[in-house]
Every structure is written in C-alpha cells, then in structure tokens.
Amino acid sequence: MSGPNEDNNTQLSSHIFGDLLDSIIVDVASECHRIAKLGLDRNLEEEEEEMRLSAQARARVADPSNSSETNTKYVVDIFGQTHPSVATEIFECMNCGRSIAAGRFAPHLEKCMGKGRKARLKVTRSSTAAQNRYSRGSPVSTYSPYSNSTSTNRLSNGTPSVAGEEYSNGTYEEPWNKT
Amino acid sequence: MKHSVNRPPTPDGAEDQGNEPILQEIINIKLIESGEKERLMEMLRERLIECGWKDEMKALCRAYVKKKGRNNVTVDDLVHLITPKGRASVPDSVKAELLQRIRSFLTSAAL
C-alpha cells in the first residue's frame, strides 16, 4: 500500500538518482572535452592528415634524389631557413682592421697573425697602435715575425724601428718554424 | 507600461510542496555526511561503464567534436548534447538497483 510517504520517497529517490546521473554526465562531458582539446583521441581524419604530412616530410628528407637535385648549400632546416655553407656575416678583423667574412675569418687570421711567411709583411705594413705596442712590449710575442725572412720586401717597408727591435731580442719566437 | 508589470507572479510553489526543498536539502546533507552519496556515485559510475553507457556517450561526443572541429567545442555543448540521451539510455536494471539503494537509505535515515 503506497501512502504519501511512499510517494515522497519514490519521488525523492528519483530526484536523487537524477542528481547523481547529472553529475556523472558532466564528468563524462568534461573528460571528452579534455581529450578533444588535447588531441588525445585518435580522431581518424585529423590523425590521418597529420600522418600523411609527416610521412611526406620524412620522405622529402630521406630522399637521396633531393640532395643531388638541389644544391646542398640550400638545404632547408626545420624552420624553413636556408644557410649558405660559408658564413657570410661581415665584421672587422681586430688585427688588421679589414672587413672579413665570418666564414673566411680563420684562414684570414692565419695569414694576418703570422702563421705564414707573408703574414709578417702584413704586420709590418700595418700601422695599428696595438701592434706597435705589442711588438715593442713583449719580446716573446707570437707574432713578432720579424725573423729571418729571406724576402727582401721587408726592407722596403717604412718602419725601421720595428726591424731594429727584432735584432735586440734574441729570443723571439719563430712560430712558423714550429709547424 | 513596463513589460515586467504584466509578468505572471513568480511561483512560490504550492503549500504542500513548501517543505520539499528543505527536505531535499536535509537529505542531501545526510547523504553527503554519511558518505552514502559518494558510494552511490561510484556504484552508478561502475554500472554505467560496465553496461557500455559511458562508451556510448563518449562516442556521441567524439562524433560531435569531429563534426564541429576540436577547437570549437565547449564543455557546455557536450553536456547539452549528452544529457537527454544519457538520461534516456540508462539501463532499467541499473536504474532499479540505484533506486533501491537510495530508498533503503531514505528509510534508514528515519524519514
């Protein structure tokens, strides 16, 4: 026999059940929303598209015919930039004051600072104060290349004082000998 | 004349229904405090997963997301999408079990 309490109870129960169900529905919706936004779902169409694009990119990178076709200098990196194989930034050599390209700087320094024979000519021709300071102040400077070069060009330069010093230090280094 | 003047009066609820909101609140509090609400939720969740209801709802969501595009979907959209179908598709056995549990709680809570 169903009295008013019974009906109340039934109604209440249904109401409570409805509440529970609503909470669970919101949870499920929230979870699905999260999965959708984070791309965690293997959503067929999207994933296929992405897979195809990445496969294409990989093929392009791995393809040997690519590098033989295009100039290897112009290989594209992941940002789509190309770099010339020789660095082209230009700056001033602190030794001789010339404008040098970055990619050519090392060989330039070799010549400029005294590895080679001709370097000594450059140095003696130069008139930078630092150089003169160094050549006077430090007897064992690595680029006091005023050693027995057989080139007669040295004599034609206009800094006799430098040449004079060379004879005063008997212990200057001869870096070119050490190579 | 302002539109609002002609508005029907806000229903306060009939006399015999006057007690219900308060009663419901009391019951709710009792449910939560005793931990029964949590247990009921877990039970319902479990049953709904077992019977595949959750998967159905997730499939609905996925289809909707696919249609609209991932970035155009809000939680609200999904809630509104799932609610009517979700409420209707709970298996009878699950519903009966839960209702039974709730009713026994109500009677044991001395109402």
Highest mean pLDDT of the ranges A78-82, A85-89, A100-104, A128-132: A100-104
Note the CATH number of domain A82-114.
3.30.160.60
Within a domain: residue B22? no
Closest in A25, A37, A41 to B82, CB measured: A25
Residue B7 in domain = no
The answer to whether position B6 is within a domain reads no
* Structural domain boundaries enclosing B44: 33-107
What confidence tens digit (pLDDT) does each residue in A40-74 have? 876 666 666 777 888 888 888 776 665 555 555 56
The Cα of A51 is separated from the nearest Cα of chain B by a number of Å equal to: 17
Contact assignment for A16 to B44 by CB distance below 8 Å:
no
Our count of domains for chain B comes to 1
Report if residue B14 sits inside a domain: no
Report CA-CA distances (Å) from B19 to A8, B24, B25.
11, 9, 10
Domain contains B103 = yes
Check which CATH number belongs to the domain holding B51 and give it.
Answer: 1.10.246.140
Whether B17 maps to a domain, the answer reads: no
Looking at the domain assignment, is residue B19 inside a domain?
A: no
Cα(A32)–Cα(A25) distance, integer angstroms? 11
What is the C-alpha R_g of chain A?
A: 40
pLDDT per residue as tens digits for the range B21-44: 788 888 899 999 999 999 999 999
Please state the rounded mean pLDDT for residues B58-77. Answer: 91
- Domain spans in chain A, listed from the N-terminal domain onward: 10-60, 82-114
Share of chain B above pLDDT 90, in %: 61
Do residues A119 and A111 touch, judged by C-beta distance below 8 A?
A: yes
Residues within 8 A of A (CB atoms), B 34-93 only: 37, 40-41, 44-45, 48, 54, 57-58, 61-62, 65-66, 70-71, 73-75, 78-79, 81-83, 86-87, 90
- Is B25 among the domain residues? no
Nearest to B60 by CA among A54, A26, A32, A152: A32
pTM of the model: 0.49
Q: Which of A58, A24, A40 is nearest to B37 (CA)?
A: A24
Partners of B99 on chain A (C-beta within 8 Å) are 13-14, 17
**ipTM (interface predicted TM):** 0.80
Instruction: Judge: B73–A25 Cβ closer than 8 Å, yes or no.
Output: no
